[in-house]
Amino acid sequence: MARQLDEQIAGRFPVGQRLRVLDVGMGQGTQALRLARAGHSVTGLESDASMLAAARESLATEPEGIRERVRLIEGDGRETGVHFLPGSFDVVLCHGVLMYVEEPDPMLAGLARMLAPGGLLSLLVRNADALAMRPGLAGDFGGALAAFDTATYTNRLGLSVRADRLDTLRGTLAGIAAPLHAWYGVRVFTDNVDNDVELPADEMERVLALEDRAGRTDPYRGVAALLHLCGVRG
Ligand SMILES: C[S@@+](CC[C@H](N)C(=O)[O-])C[C@H]1O[C@@H](n2cnc3c(N)ncnc32)[C@H](O)[C@@H]1O
C-alpha cells in the first residue's frame, strides 16, 4: 500500500516538492512519520488519545528536522473544517478509518474540501464486495455464506464495523469533486495471516511482490480484503 501511495504521489507532484499531507486517523503514525522522513510536512489528526500519545512517542525519537515538519492534533476526522482551512493540503490520507464511521459520505466530503486543486485523496477501506473471503478461506463456511448479505463484519478487535463497496465509493468520490483516479486491492492472499508473523527476508520480499502484483491485477484485486482508492480533486 505504501508503494502504491508513493507511486500516486510521484505521478502527481514534481519530485522534491514538499507536500502538505493530512493523515486522518493516523493511529500510531506509521505513514505520517514515513512521509515526514521523505521530506513532506505532515499533520496527523487522531481521535484516540492513547494512539496520539504513541505517535508522539515515536515522533520524539526522530531527528529535529523531521520533528519540526510534523503536527499532531487530537480531533475527529469528521470535523476537519474545525481545524483546517479548505484547500490547505496536497494529500489527504484516510487509511483504515472509514470502517469506524457510520456515515462516511459527510466525512469524505469534508476530506475532499481539505484538498487543493489536483490534490490526492488516499482511502484504505474494507472491501464489502468480498467479505465472504476471510471466513470462507478460514473454513468457516456458515460465516462465509452469511457475509454475502451484509456490509458489516467483525474485525480482529471483536468490534462490529462497516465495509465499503467500490462502486458506491466511486459514486461518492465523483459527487464530491474528487473522482476515482486509481484503485488497488490490498491483502489479496494475506488477510488470514497474523500481523505479527515474522517471515525470513526473502520470503517477505516474495509476499510483498505477490501482493503488489495481485493488487493491480483483475480479477484478484476485486476480492482483496482491503481496497486502496485514490481520488483526485478537480
Ligand atoms: C485501524 S487504525 C488505522 C491507523 C492508520 N491510519 C494506519 O493505517 O495504520 C484506525 C485509527 O483511526 C482512528 N479513528 C477512528 N475514527 C476516527 C475519527 N472519526 N476521527 C479520527 N480518528 C479516528 C482510530 O482511533 C485509530 O487510531
Give me the torsion for CA of 169, 174, 3, 55, rounded to 10°. Answer: -70
77: in domain: yes
pTM beyond 0.75, yes or no: yes
- What single letter denotes the amino acid at residue 5? L
91: in domain: yes
- Whether the CB-CB separation of 161 and 152 falls below 8 Å is answered with yes
Mutation choice for ligand 1 from 31, 97, 99, 105, CB with most ligand atoms inside 8 A = 97
Mutation choice for ligand 1 from 72, 100, 103, 125, CB with most ligand atoms inside 8 A = 100
* Mean pLDDT score across all residues of the chain: 95
**pLDDT, mean of residues 52-63:** 95
Output the furthest CA–CA distance in the chain (Å, rounded).
Answer: 53
Mutation choice for ligand 1 from 4, 28, 47, CB with most ligand atoms inside 8 A = 47
- Whether the CB-CB separation of 98 and 123 falls below 8 Å is answered with yes
217: in domain: yes
Query: Hunting for cell 486522518 — which residue is that?
Result: 24
141: in domain: no
Between 166-175 and 104-113, two packed helices, what is the crossing angle to 10 degrees?
50
How far away, in angstroms, is 99 Cα from ligand 1 center?
A: 9
How far away, in angstroms, is 155 Cα from ligand 1 center?
A: 14
Count up the domains in the chain and report the number: 1
The residues lining ligand 1, judged by C-beta closer than 6 Å to any ligand atom, are: 24-27, 30, 45-48, 51, 76-78, 95-97, 100-101
- Domain containing 55: what range? 2-128+156-232
146: in domain: no
pLDDT, tens digit, 9 for 90 and up, residues 146-188 = 999 899 998 888 889 999 999 999 999 999 999 999 999 999 9
pLDDT, tens digit, 9 for 90 and up, residues 187-226 = 999 998 887 888 889 999 999 999 999 999 999 999 999 9
Which residue is closest in CA terms to ligand 1's atom 12? Answer: 25
- Whether the CB-CB separation of 212 and 117 falls below 8 Å is answered with no
Joined together, the cell numbers standing for residue 206 give 516474495
**Nearest Cα residue to 29 out of 44, 40, 49, 39:** 44
If residue 102 lies in a helix (H) or strand (E), which one and from where to where?
none
The dihedral through the CA atoms of 176, 91, 41, 61 has a sign that is: positive
pLDDT confidence band for 2 (50 / 70 / 90): confident
- Whether the CB-CB separation of 62 and 36 falls below 8 Å is answered with yes
143: in domain: no
**pLDDT, mean of residues 111-121:** 97
Between 49-60 and 30-37, two packed helices, what is the crossing angle to 10 degrees?
30
How far away, in angstroms, is 161 Cα from ligand 1 center?
A: 13
Share of the chain above pLDDT 70, in %: 100
Q: Give the nearest ligand 1 atom to 30 CA.
A: 9
pLDDT at 26 over 80: yes
pLDDT, tens digit, 9 for 90 and up, residues 6-18 = 999 999 999 889 9
pLDDT confidence band for 81 (50 / 70 / 90): very high
CATH number for the domain that contains residue 10:
3.40.50.150
133: in domain: no
